[in-house]
Amino acid sequence: MAELQPLFETKQAKGRAAFRVFTATVFVGICLMLVYRFLHIPRGGEEGRWAWIGMLVAEVLFSFYWIITQSARWNVTQNFPFIQRLSQRYEDRLPGVDVFVCTADPIMEPPTLVVNTVLSVMSFNYPPGKLSVYLSDDGGSEFTFYALLEASHFSKSWIPFCKKFNVAPMSPEAYFSHQPDEKYVNQVEEEWLAMKKKYKEMRYQIESVMAKGSISEEIRRQHKGFLEWYNYEVTKQNHQSIVQIIIDGKDTYAVDNEGCRLPTLVYMAREKRPGWPHNFKAGAMNALIRVSSEISNGSIILNLDCDMYANNPDAVREALCFFMDEKRGPEIAFMQHPQRYNNITKNDIYGNCAHVVHQVELAGVGGYDAALFCGTACFHRRESLSGAKYSRDCRENVDSEAKKIDERTADELEKISKVLASCSYEKDTPWGKEMGLLYGCPVEDIVTGLAIQCRGWKSVYYDPDRRAFIGVAPITLDTHLVQFKRWSEGLFQIFFSKYCPFIYGHGKIKVGAQMGYCVYLLWAPVSLPTLYYIIVPPLCLLHGISLFPKASSPWFIPFVYVFIAKNVYSIIEALNCDSTLKGWWNLQRMLLIRRTTSFFFAFFDVILRQLGLSQTAFALTAKVVTEDVLERYEQEVMEFGTSSLMFTIISTLAMLNLFSVVAAIFKMIFQDFGALEKFVLQVILCGLTVVLNFPIYEALFIRKDKGSLPFSVMFKSIAIAALACLILVN
């Protein structure tokens, strides 16, 4: 009997040998730099001794982190599924798929945005009888419930429309923001306009109710679910379990306008009570795992944030190629897609797109069979999410799930599910410890993925040409930095916990995977050498203290080589990953800003938490912006607008380097031009920092719009920088 062709294949990225040779040369250059630092430490009492020692420590830390980052580039792989083979072999026995969509606040995450995501996943090219969609509403909002109810009515028209014309993206808002392709215009235009009108009517109804701030009695009579808010006092942090099956996929009357079956659609708001920990998104996901196990029990779970709509109708089928492959599939626990965004400007002013991270680093970690679980756009095997260990003695495939006839009514299932979603259900159980997503960390996704891999499972990373899921990126600097602070804080907590990959993963996952995790877990501490490099060299330059070799010295060569080689490689890497040169430059600015603000604050928050002086908090990022902010973003103008402490730090560092460069150039021109040979690297370092910070100076002194930096920030940054310039470095 001929061996079955695989349902997916894995290929090594091109140029691996050349990259390894290049990396070796950079490593030699770094070693020579550290040798120079160690051999030329000023003697006791000499000027700049401690500044020099600080530079040595900073460069050792940079070098260690650079080695860590190379692990994510050492074994980059790409995966390719074959959905035609899947259909040929398994079309009549495809597994059930449960889709989890999570939202937490109807103001920061508007219901229209949420239901667009829900409608997009309901429209997958997949048997609707095997597809169930669950919305977890941690805000417990009747407005979100109402929006979902309206979406269920609209889905009866939208789903057949998507199937008929192979619509992509399947989010109505995203789809109708563009005219139909010209080759379909004659065929589609009339139906396109009619469907767009229906969507606008649905959106208007939802937004009108939101604007009014109350739901009329006429609307409440449309569904028994509104009694949950009518009979009880429901607040965001204090409410009973609410589970409503809005579309019962088993009901013969649950059909669309073409008479085809509709996917199951469920609304859930888990119980919240004062004094009971709700464990943020991890708690919501675990409640969804339990509730869905009673209602549909799909063996594959897809989890999405509420702003990540589906863009590829065949995304589920592509995912199943990994899980149902006869040879490698049984050991795969989850398959992670990259987070892509629909609102990225040409040059990506805030570096949101992270082209290199998605196409190189995450693919590199995936090359060790340990792709990171990033919290959204991830397909899971239910068995692995429920705490099971992988066993070679029990290699059951996804399609072998037991089929049972469930005669329970929707009302009975809702009643049972409410118990599973209660806040006391998890007490004295393994949930959050051994089962489901793990608790105690703001980035529960990363630590959960690591724990699953340490139980013997493998994971894959898949970055398709046709983006499977698309979300919304932050378009203000403040929101962006808050988001990165939350991520870096949670990631650094993992490094300090028992889940540190070098300890918890020892002997369980590959060393390359352990290092790959730490590329992100060590975001926060890398802020310290960065801050040192941005503060001390300009101060030393201002006071005539040299920290680098002269241009005529042989030791000058490794410093220049490492600097040029790393940056040239970084540019080539970015351009190969579909970025632009200006986009690469913008990313360098954002890396500097993140490290000196978000990562720095995260570092100290984690240290304080380790000392028991603070507790973990969760900051939700808003998905709503004003028109003037959006206009500036589209023009690629950085948005400040507030007197945030982070903005004061950014401005102060920019002013410090500006003062130092101007003063140094003045001295060299009018006093001692020959000193340039001695200070050339410091001048270049500070000069590049100044050029990199041009948008900061523009926001401080030139711009007059609402997105510029306030006068108070300008005053404080100039005063602090001027005061720092008076400090003598010994």
Q: Which residues are designated catalytic?
A: 138, 445
Nearest to 559 by CA among 544, 546, 572: 546
Residue 563 token pair: 């600097």
Q: Is 170 helix (H, G, I), strand (E, B) or coil?
A: coil
Enter the tokens of residue 521: 């877990």
Tell me how far apart the alpha carbons of residues 516 and 521 are, in angstroms, rounded to a whole number: 9
What secondary structure does DSSP assign to 32-58, as a single string?
A: HHHHHHHHTPPPTTSTTHHHHHHHHHH
* Helix, coil or strand: residue 644: coil
Q: Please compute, for residue 142, the number of CA atoms within 13 A of its CA located in the half-sphere on the CB side.
A: 23
CA angle 79, 370, 355 (to 5 degrees): 60
Tell me the three state secondary structure of residue 341: strand
Which residue type occupies 515? M
What is the C-alpha separation between 494 and 499, in angstroms, rounded? 6
Token couple for 174: 């995203």
Local structure of 393: helix, strand or coil: coil
Residues 6+ apart with CB under 8 A from 504: 450, 451, 454, 498
Q: Residue 341's beta-bridge partner residues?
A: 471
Name the nearest CA neighbour of 99 among 323, 386, 292: 292
Q: Of 376, 370, 375, 390, whose CA–CA distance to 515 is shortest? A: 370
Q: Are 536 and 724 in contact (CB under 8 A)?
A: no
Residues 6+ away with beta carbon under 8 Å from 285: 100, 102, 136, 303, 436, 437, 444
Which secondary structure element, helix H or strand E, spans residue 381, and what is its range? strand 378-381
Collapsing DSSP to helix, strand or coil, 180 comes out as coil
Contact 139, 105 (CB under 8 A): yes
| 483 membership: H or E segment, kind and range | helix 477-496
Nearest CA to 234 among 225, 222, 246, 245?
A: 225
Which residue, 11, 20, 14, 22, is CA-closest to 566? 22
Q: Are 170 and 467 in contact (CB under 8 A)?
A: no
Residue 430 burial class via C-beta count within 10 angstroms: exposed 0-12, middle 13-18, buried 19 and up: exposed
